[in-house]
């Protein structure tokens, strides 16, 4: 296995990981920003006010994007397993 192959595999793995995690992270970031603006406007400093909405939003996003995420991960895994003979043979 050449260094170029290893770099390509790592790049693909990182791309898949970012694509799989991005929907939940973006939703959590947006929810946190909205809650922070609300807290700053009303001067309420309650920690549970940020935790519960983020948890609910992340659950909803996971339910909505779960099938796509699983399909993405399964496709990447199948491609990786199918390419093992070609990777080792180089």
Is pLDDT above 90 for 65?
yes
pTM metric for this prediction: 0.78
What is the per-residue pLDDT across 26-61, written as a single tens digit (0 to 9) for each?
999 999 999 989 988 988 888 778 888 899 999 999
Termini Cα distance of the chain: 6
Can you give the residue ranges of every domain in the chain? 3-89
Which residues, including other chains, have CB under 8 Å from residue 12's CB and lie 6 or more apart?
A: 76, 80
Is 90 a residue whose pLDDT tops 70?
no
Among 27, 25, 17, which residue's Cα sits nearest to residue 72? Answer: 17
Using DSSP, state whether 66 is helix, strand or coil. Answer: helix
């Amino acid at each position: 296995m050449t260094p170029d192959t290893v770099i390509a595999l790592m790049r693909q793995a990182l791309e898949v990981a970012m694509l799989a995690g991005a929907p939940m992270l973006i939703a959590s970031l947006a929810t946190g920003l909205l809650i922070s603006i609300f807290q700053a406007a009303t001067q309420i400093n309650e920690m549970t006010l940020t935790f519960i909405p983020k948890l609910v939003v992340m659950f909803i996003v996971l339910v909505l994007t779960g099938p796509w995420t699983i399909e993405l991960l399964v496709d990447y895994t199948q491609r990786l397993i199918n390419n093992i003979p070609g990777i080792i043979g180089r």
